[in-house]
Amino acid sequence: MAGDCSSHWPVTNPPRGYLSSRRLLEHSTRSIGQTVIHTRDPCDGTGMGVAVIGASMTKFGQRDVWIRELLSQAGEECLTDAGVAPDDVEHLYVSNMASGEFEGQTGIMNLLAHDLGVLPAYSERVDQTSSSGGAGIYEAWQSVASGASEMTLLVGGEKMTHKTTGQATDIIASITHPDEYKHGVTLPSFAGMTARHYLERFDAPRESLARVAVKNHRNGVDNPKAQFQKEITMEKALESPIIADPLRLYDFCPITDGSAALMFTTEERAKEITDEYALVSGIGGATDTHVVHERDDPTIMGGVVESSKQAYEMAGLGPNDLDVAELHDMFTILEFLQLEGIGVADQGTAWEMAMDGVTAKDGELPINTSGGLKSKGHPLGASGVAQGVEIYEQLVGEAGPRQVEADTALACNVGGFGNCVITTIMEAAE
């Protein structure tokens, strides 16, 4: 379980120009409003007492059903997987970015509570743009850690593919700052600018980005729920059409429909229900400015640095303790920036990990065994929850052909280009 927390974290001064989220975890017990968060000394090794006991995920891709059906499918399967009756659910969180914009349907938490039969459980929709899934994990963890709920169901989902690429892109672009968007600063364009800067500044070959795409597509072959279950070659990745130079088609994730779910409870209740569960041993959240010209260094994701630091401190762990991780590879360059942000690589060196095979499934630190957003797909509100599903399944030995040897896992979910970030660490139960 958690180890010695001394001298784990290498970053001393986070970059200037980003705003940290409210720190919930500075003390072992802290009152926030009327809620008391029972945390712990990050070095005492006692754990947070919040467990994940069930998980589910629909097939990702182009689905001929609406958001209501996607959420219900994932929710019902999660209840079954966890062995929990609907009447036992006290809190329901629904992670979703834009059901109103995509489908003209709001109030999806009420629909889902009714459809799953969990009434009168408290229900809430969680929107933190493309990090809504991670934010949902944060809310679900907090609801159990605070004692407000003993059984909390989290379901994330998005329905996107019925819109044209242009329509979907416009909805997603609402994440960006309005004053920059009108001058052409979109997420793809900023990713391209950042990738060009990274490659030139750190003398990284273009091939290193292609290796991320090839690796994640290879991992997706073994994921029956992935949108793209097909391998691609280096040649195909390097010769695909340019989208935002130097990024090409295979450097981008697809538009996706899908839903995923997790069941949270206390560690004590988990022990009564099952022998196979994972503990949420650390979690952190942070916010960076989404005015990109205010960032001193576009290759440093301040929200990733801060949120992972919080998660490590809570868990009493450090980067060297990780066995597997799911990162938010909306663009291939983001895998490099997050590897450096979570502290497993020095700035400007993550590309070497890709070139040396360190992040492959059979490497020293497997990254995105699910296929990542690149291959698995990116249904906005579901993506962070699906990351949680993957690391949970790795820890309880249910990842099938994707299985690696893992006792400690991390998931990093990103909103925009690092605007909001949630980092979660789970550990296998002893």
- Tell me the pLDDT of the chain (430 aa) as tens digits: 444 443 334 333 333 232 333 333 333 333 323 333 444 343 343 345 999 999 999 999 999 999 999 999 999 999 999 999 999 999 999 999 999 999 999 999 999 999 999 999 999 999 999 999 999 999 999 999 999 999 999 999 999 999 999 999 889 888 888 877 777 778 899 999 999 999 999 999 999 999 999 999 999 999 999 999 999 999 999 999 999 999 999 999 999 999 999 999 999 999 999 999 999 999 999 999 878 778 889 999 999 999 999 999 999 999 999 999 999 999 999 999 999 999 999 999 999 999 999 999 999 999 999 999 999 999 999 999 999 999 999 999 999 999 999 999 999 999 999 999 999 999 999 8
Rounded to the nearest 10 degrees, the angle between the axes of helix 206-221 and helix 187-201 is 120
Torsion angles phi and psi, residue 402, rounded to 5: -85, -5
Q: What is the dihedral of CA 23, 25, 27, 32, to 10 degrees?
A: 70
8 A C-beta contact, residue 315 and residue 2: yes
Pick one of 3.30.428.10, 3.20.20.70, 3.40.47.10, 3.30.230.10 as the CATH number of 18-162+255-428: 3.40.47.10
Q: Where are the domains of the chain?
A: 18-162+255-428
pTM of the model: 0.89
